[in-house]
Amino acid sequence: MLSHVFVTAEYPIFIAEDGDGKVDAYIVCKIIDGVVWVESLFVSEQERRKGIATRLYLETEKVAQELGNSTLYNWGHPNNDKMIAFLSRMGYDVLNLIEVRKKLNNEEITGMVKVGDHDYHY
């Protein structure tokens, strides 16, 4: 069962519960200037690969559509292969923004990523 809970008008949360009210999954979004950003997606291990994340995303996409948008915006770590694969299956394959920072103290950089004409340490 999916339920829709608003903590505030700008943070829609969708929750998937089992028949006993136990939370199996949730998605938390943030709406900034009418744009819906996915902040967090969680599906319990025993409930993964059952379509729950897809259903949560489809419900969340309705919020974006109600605001006149055709997409959700997603943040993700470049090595989160499972989430990237999920997003790709859902049609999310357009790179929108990059996040750039300075190297942290004592951080070891092990790779490079090319975005357009630019190389970034990763």
What would the 3-class secondary structure string for 35-97 be?
EEEEEEEEECHHHCCCCHHHHHHHHHHHHHHHCCCCCCEECCCCCCHHHHHHHHHCCCCCCCC
Which residue ranges make up each domain of the chain? 2-121
pTM value surpassing 0.85: no
pLDDT band at 6 (very low <50, low <70, confident <90, very high): low
Work out the angle at residue 42's Cα, subtended by the Cα atoms of residues 113 and 21, and round it to the nearest 5 degrees: 175
Torsion of CA 54, 55, 57, 61, to 10 degrees: 130
Q: Six-digit token pair at 122?
A: 């990763």
Each residue of 85-102: pLDDT tens digit? 999 999 999 999 888 999
> What mean pLDDT comes out for the span 7-25?
84
* pLDDT bracket for residue 4 (50, 70, 90): low
User: Residues, the chain, total?
Assistant: 122
CATH 3.40.50.10310 matches 2-121: no
29-58 pLDDT tens trace: 999 888 999 999 999 999 999 999 999 999
